[in-house]
Amino acid sequence: MRFKVDCPHCGAMLSVPEKYHYTTIKCPDCGEAVEAVSTETTRVTRDFLEALEEPEDEVGVTSLPRVATLKVPGRNGE
């Protein structure tokens, strides 16, 4: 299976075999090093980070439940 990668140096759209996902490859068009991360992964990550920067959007961090501390006899200074 293959996935698509945009070269950030020359803009070429590369079709990369799955075994190279999350590695550094050489762009066949410009010869520059490119992180082989699918364009879909990059888009979703970029969208998520942009949503975090918008002050009117709530991410829900404050709505996480509080986690109780596990007290293990002999460990937590007891």
pLDDT at 45: 72
Is the pLDDT at 2 greater than 80? The verdict is yes
Mode of pairing for the β-strands spanning 2-6 and 24-26: unpaired
Residues 6+ apart with CB under 8 A from 76: 69
Q: How far apart are CA 4 and CA 38, in angstroms?
A: 5
Is the pLDDT at 33 greater than 80? The verdict is yes
CATH of the structural domain 2-56, one choice from 3.10.450, 2.20.28, 2.60.40, 1.10.10: 2.20.28
pLDDT at 46: 73
Cα angle 45, 49, 52; round to 5: 145
Is the pLDDT at 22 greater than 80? The verdict is yes
pTM for the whole thing? 0.50
